[in-house]
Each structure stands twice: as structure tokens, then as C-alpha cells.
A and B are shown apart, each in its own frame.
Chain A
Amino acid sequence: MFSWFGKVSFVSYTKVSDFAVHLKDGRMMGSVCKDCGYTTFPPRADCPQGLSGNFEFKEYSGKGKVFTHTTISAAPTGFEDVAPYTIVVVELDEGGRLMAWAGDTVPAKELKIGIPVQVVPRIFEDSPEIKLYYTVEKPGATWKKAPAPHLG
């Protein structure tokens, strides 16, 4: 499932593969260590503090602030057709950061370090396969969420 995540995927298997299932349904999941409470995004199965492997997903609001950004003109393989695109690193309110693309509501010219933003889960509509990503939008942006699935 994890290969759903990204326009180009490099990782098919991970202990946090269900991240992609949640993202398809509109939920952005970080992780919490059940032993010490260490909470982070992107999620990790193994706690960097106590070395515990006992984790659970925690839903993030996607609210945060711009940490840094750049607009890429010279694109690598698989991204030529979307260049130029703007990459934004967001500092998330609940802890941790993520990398995402700037969405239509936040043009590159209006991007500034420190401004509040909303991260929104996305799916490539015109792709035959499931391809997931997220974009950075103005605060208050909304999206559809599917009901929580039962994941093994």
C-alpha cells in the first residue's frame, strides 16, 4: 500500500504502511509511542527515545506553519511534467514536520516562512493507479474524509 504515497514511489514496504491507507481516506497520521508518548510526524514504528516498537497512529489536524520552501525548475525523473513546482516544509502544530507541494491557494509569491497553513490530503485524479500526496493551502481549507476503516 505504501507505494500509493507519492507521484513517484521509492518505498513499497514499511512498518507504517497503513499511513497510505489513512491518507487515501483523508486522514494524515503521525505516530505515538505507547511506552513513552513520543509523538511525531512522519510516523515511525520504532521509538527513537526508548527503542520501543510499540506504536499507534495518531490523527493530525494538518495545521502548521511554513518552515521553509523552494520552487524547483530543474526536475528529476518523474517530475518533469509538473515542473516548476514549489516544495514547502511545514512545521506541524501537533509536532513534527512534513514536506508537501504548495497548492493553488498559496502561490509561490505569497509563501513566507512562519505563515499559518493547512495541509490537505490529495489524490492524483487523472492517474490510473492510486497516487497520493498532500498540498499546502490557506488556513480553513477543507476536504472530504472517508469513515475510519478497520485495519489489521
Chain B
Amino acid sequence: MSRVGVIGAGHGVFGRRSDATVQELAFEAFRLAIKDAGISRDDLDATVVAAVPEYHKQRSVAGVVQEYLNLNPKPTWLTEVACASGSAAIRTAWMAIKSGVHQVVAVIGCQKMTEMATAEILALMGRVGEVQWESIFGSTFPGYYAMFATSHMHEFGTTHEQMMQVAVKNHFYGSKNPNALFRKEIQLDKAMNSDAVASPFCVYDCCANADGAACLILAEESRAKALSKKVVWLDGVGCATASMSVLRRPNLVGLPSAVEAGQQAFRMAKVTAKDVKVAEVHDCFTIAEIMAYEDLGFCKKGHGGKFIEEKRSYIGGEVAVNVDGGLKAKGHPIGATGVSMAYEIVKQLRGESGERQVPNADIGLTHNVGGIGQYTFVHLFRRD
């Protein structure tokens, strides 16, 4: 069966973008991706848009994006699985191409999060969990991951300081990424003493809401080769789910959906965790990156704290993780994040990442989690 390749990638600046609407953000990333691919709009068969609707005043975002990009009457549709929406869009584009329905598909992840008032954000934050049995106790998104952290610390002796070293690493790389929201390094002791959010987390354990967009152009193998000389192949896709409620999880030391999605992707791409040189993992909170090392098999379950402490996820370590700053420093415009991860991997595999370039990057991975692992998508990219 023919492969699916990425022939173009574009990324806007993440941050508080009070200068632009969501469709204007989408346009920035789209223009860059089309230029990067060296194709014209006419080469596209369809667009898949990723965005989480409840943050936008504009309803049905795919429609307004498709119009603003002057892509009518080509087909478009929206994918939504919370913070994993971007990877879900990539997966549906991959499926559309594999099935033979479309040959060239644009994937656009776009999100405006700062157009909401703080009160609206706080109300939304109170409904991220299962609302019937959990949100009524004031559970929050940081609170859920904090419960994972509590369990991980108890079971494996992981320390808060090890968690915070994830933030230190990601801000270090974020300081070198012109598209990142935060472009400053942070100090461990200062970060450890930031305001409490949900124990053991303080402010620096948490990623920040942002506005932003990213775009990929995917194509069927023969079209990809005809259109591009720098194709990066999407050779493995995995997707799995886990219970909405923490009350129904087997344990709180990992994400079962991430383990399953990872295994599917590795099997399909016929590679192992050891082969991965560069990875983008879903570090919405510091513990999430530590669990990702373990769930994906970069280290054994329970060894994630040591893994970061020993700097094995820095460039020069076993696998370079989130060297674009991750969600933590780059910002997390939820609908755009999965596409942004894929953008970084594509640039790394092409050797275009400048001072953040991972040497000999030939196989890269994205790990994109919706909510607290209700959905996880793992994608494996390779350059020939």
C-alpha cells in the first residue's frame, strides 16, 4: 500500500495574539506551508481543521477558515478530541489519503484561547473532568495531573524537583524557538517556589493557554514524490482511548491510551522506541512528560524521573524530547498543538532546525494527548 508523506509545513507565532482572528492565524500557517511545499492551492483536494469549539465565539470554525483561505468549494471538516484535536486531524487526513478518496490534504490546527474573559476560562476549567461525579468537587485540569503526580511520587519515589527539571529543559529550548510563547530560560529554585496551583504543582509545572496555528500538507506517495524533494513520511499512526473518569482508570501512574497508541504506531512503522531520535510529547504538565517517557518505552515505568534528572531527554541524550520548548514554553493553543508537534518533527527530520537541530534525526515521534489521556495519538515520521 502506498505511503503518506508530508510535503509542506508551516507554523505561526504562538502567544497572546490579540492582533488576529482564528482564521487569520490559520492563514499565516497555511501560507507558510503552501510556500514550503512549493505547490499551489489548486493542488489541494481537501482540508481538515483541528480546533476546540468552546473557546471560539465563531461557531463552526472549519467553515470560516475554508472561506478565508479561498478554498471553497473543496471539502473540509473539523476534528475535535480536546488537546489531541491536531493529531486527530492528521490521522483523518492520513485515512482519507490511504483510502484513495483524496491525494493531497492540508491539515490546519488553529486556536484562539485568549479572546475569552478570565471568568469564562475559570468556568470552563471547572468542567474539564467528568461533570456528574467529579467536577462537583471543584476538580481542575491541573488538579487531575496533580493526582497522577501524587500517585507517581508515591509508587516510584519521583520527586517534584525531577518534575520541575522537565520545565527547566523545555524553557531552555523554548528560549531558542522564535515561535514560542515564553522565550526565557528559568531557574529550578525559582520555579519550585512559584505559586501553588494543585499540590504538588505550582505555576511552573503548568503549560499556558495561547493562540496559534500550524499547518501540514500531506500527500499520497506518488503525488508526494512528484511534488516534493524533501518528503517526510508518516509511516506509523496509533490511536487509543481511556476512561473519561479517573475513577475508572486501572492506575494513575501512566496513560493506558498512550501505551496502546505507541505500540500501534511502532508496529505499523516497524521501529522501536530505541530508534526514535527526536520526540514531541504532550507536556501539558511536568509529570505528563515523565509519564510519556515511560508509556512510550524510552525508559522503564517508574524511571522517568531519573531519565530527566540525568538529562537523557536533552539533545545529546538518548532521545531529544520537546526541543522546540514543548507545550510548556511554546504555549498550548489546544487545537493547534498536535500539528505544531508534527511541524517540529518534520523540520528536525529535514535538518532545518538550526541551533536546536538533533544530530542524525531520521526517525521522529509525536505523542499528543487529549484531556488526561481520554485520547492519545502517537505518530511516527521517517525520512528516507
Contact = CB atoms under 8 A, between A and B. Distances in A.
B247 interface: yes
Interface residues of chain B: helix, strand, loop or mixed (majority)? helix
A113 B148 CA distance: 12
Contacts of A84: 196
Interface string A112-128: 11100000000000000
Most chain-B CB neighbours within 10 Å: which of A9, A87, A96, A114?
A: A87
A141 interface: no
A75 B135 CA distance: 11
A108 B200 CA distance: 12
B95 interface: no
A101 B195 contact: no
A82 B135 CA distance: 14
A73 B252 CA distance: 21
Nearest to A86: B199
Given A10-B132, A97-B247, A76 B122 contact: yes
Contacts of A6: 135-137
B143 to A, nearest CB: 5
A78 B132 contact: no
Q: How large is the interface on B (under 10, 10 to 19, 20 to 34, 35 or more residues)?
A: 35 or more
Interface stretch (A31-39, A54-62, A64-72, A142-150): A64-72
A101 B134 CA distance: 11
Interface stretch (B42-50, B123-131, B359-367): B123-131
B21 interface: no
Contact of A75 (B138, B247, B248, B252): B138
A151 interface: no
B269 interface: no
Interface string B135-160: 11111101100111111001000000
Contact of A96 (B142, B195, B247): B247
Interface in A64-109: 67-79, 82-85, 87, 89, 96-101, 108
Contacts of A114: 154
B203 to A, nearest CB: 9
Given A6-B137, A87-B138, A68 B247 contact: no
Nearest to A97: B247
A95 B237 CA distance: 36
A33 to B, nearest CB: 16
B138 A7 contact: yes
A105 B136 CA distance: 21
16 contacts: A6-B135, A8-B138, A10-B132, A68-B147, A68-B150, A72-B140, A72-B143, A72-B197, A72-B198, A74-B198, A76-B126, A78-B126, A79-B126, A87-B147, A89-B246, A108-B199
Interface of B: 119, 122-123, 125-127, 131-140, 142-143, 146-151, 154, 195-200, 246-248, 252
Given A87-B139, A99-B247, 6 more contacts: A68-B151, A73-B196, A74-B198, A76-B127, A77-B123, A101-B137
